[in-house]
């Protein structure tokens, strides 16, 4: 089949690879504009664009698809994208972590002339965690499971009918990095199965989303990574795992930032009445421990500003000063 694909990050690139590997022809790729990244702020292309260029697929990178914006430039970009899509011969559209809402005008194009519509690969069990950051929010909230939903898109924010769904447990030590990799593969396999069914002439059951259990996963802000040690060890551990790899959980020690990448809960319900939250101490087996508002957290992997990731024990042994071993808790 002829497919238009819209996506931006590596999560989406997995699905694009699967579609190409199945023998479908991707006639156009929509992806976010190139953006500056890294310390040198060099312009970088998205993983989806890199794959499209490698495979010789035409790429379109509008910063907006809107046709009714008060911003004339956005209207112009949206109109150009609409006209390009309107002129292309295609059977359906697949959207994966694109980053722009697909307006009704384009959705209408995907359903004309015998086309099969527009399908979205979403990293949650909808209607839970609609929005930009479902993986991170599921871990942050302590969910026991998540999964992939393939939905027939409408103009709402992840509100379309479900056509396929697959669940997976969230492990107690799961990070967003590890969950991302598992869900990316699951999503690629599931959209591949859906396209195979359509190609065989099979109809995909459309199940409206439940009106119960709706929650939203807003975009992650860098400021959310700052740890408040007066929170419980359970909540802080979820924060550390949810924001690994972005933006990374962080704490201040004697005016210097420390990224905390991995941790584990040692005593979830212990109340250390005589120890101030944020105080660092050593356990019986030389573990690097931190007192929290409730419970104790062991630091496993950390990173000093400008340095490499290292074990918490190596970091602790290398401290030049140990007179004030307490993380700042200014945000408490």
pLDDT, position 331: 42
Tens-place pLDDT, residues 302-312: 999 989 999 99
Percent of the chain with pLDDT over 70: 92
Q: Label residue 270 by pLDDT band (50, 70, 90).
A: low
Task: Tell me: do 137 and 210 sit in the same domain.
Answer: yes
Asked if residue 185 is part of any domain, the answer here is yes
Task: Tell me: do 150 and 126 sit in the same domain.
Answer: yes
Asked if residue 11 is part of any domain, the answer here is yes
- Quick one: average pLDDT of 161-185? 97
- Total of domains in the chain: 2
Would the pLDDT of 291 be above 80?
yes
pLDDT, position 330: 43
pLDDT, position 327: 83
Tokens 């002339």 locate to: 113
Task: Tell me: do 278 and 307 sit in the same domain.
Answer: yes
Asked if residue 325 is part of any domain, the answer here is no
Would the pLDDT of 332 be above 50?
no
Q: Chain-wide mean pLDDT for the chain?
A: 92
DSSP 1-47: -EEEEEE-SHHHHHHHHHHHHTT-EEEEEE-PPPEEETTTTEEE--H
User: Which of 170, 192, 217 is where one domain is finished?
Assistant: 217
- Quick one: average pLDDT of 143-170? 97
Task: Tell me: do 152 and 19 sit in the same domain.
Answer: yes
> pTM for this structure?
0.92
Tens-place pLDDT, residues 34-64: 988 766 778 899 999 999 999 999 999 998 8
Would the pLDDT of 149 be above 50?
yes
Task: Tell me: do 53 and 188 sit in the same domain.
Answer: yes
- Quick one: average pLDDT of 15-20? 98
Task: Tell me: do 204 and 284 sit in the same domain.
Answer: no
Q: In this structure, are residues 294 and 232 in contact, taking their beta carbons and an 8 Å threshold? A: yes
Would the pLDDT of 197 be above 90?
yes
Q: Which residues contact 50 (CB under 8 A, 6 or more apart)?
A: 13
pLDDT, position 72: 65
């Amino acid at each position: 089949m002829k497919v238009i694909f819209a996506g931006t990050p590596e999560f989406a690139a997995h699905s694009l690879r699967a579609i190409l590997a199945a023998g479908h022809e991707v006639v156009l790729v929509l992806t976010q504009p190139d953006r500056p990244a890294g310390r040198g702020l060099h312009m970088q292309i998205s993983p989806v664009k890199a794959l499209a260029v490698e495979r010789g697929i035409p790429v379109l990178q509008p910063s907006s698809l809107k046709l009714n914006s008060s911003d004339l430039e956005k209207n112009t970009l949206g109109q150009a994208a609409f006209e390009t899509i309107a002129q292309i011969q295609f059977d359906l559209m697949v959207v994966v972590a694109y980053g722009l809402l697909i307006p009704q005008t384009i959705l209408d194009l995907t359903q004309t002339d015998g086309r099969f519509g527009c399908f979205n690969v979403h990293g949650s069990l909808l209607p839970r965690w609609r929005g930009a950051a479902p993986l991170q929010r599921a871990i942050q909230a302590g969910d026991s499971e998540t999964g992939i939903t393939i939905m027939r898109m409408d103009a709402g924010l992840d509100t379309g009918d479900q056509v396929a769904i697959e669940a997976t447990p969230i492990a107690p030590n799961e990070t967003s990095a590890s969950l991302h990799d598992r869900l990316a593969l699951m999503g690629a396999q599931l959209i591949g199965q859906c396209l195979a069914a359509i190609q065989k002439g099979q109809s995909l059951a459309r199940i409206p989303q439940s009106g119960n259990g709706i929650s939203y996963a807003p975009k992650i802000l860098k400021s959310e990574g700052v740890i408040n040690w007066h929170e419980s060890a359970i909540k802080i551990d979820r924060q550390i795992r949810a924001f690994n790899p972005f933006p990374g959980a962080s704490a201040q020690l004697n005016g210097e930032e420390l990224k905390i990448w991995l941790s584990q809960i040692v005593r979830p319900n212990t109340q250390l009445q005589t120890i101030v939250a944020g105080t660092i101490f050593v356990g019986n087996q030389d573990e690097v421990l931190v007192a929290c508002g409730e419970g104790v957290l062991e630091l496993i992997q950390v990173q000093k500003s400008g340095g490499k990731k290292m074990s918490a024990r190596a970091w602790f042994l290398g401290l030049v000063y140990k007179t004030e071993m307490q993380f700042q808790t200014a945000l408490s």
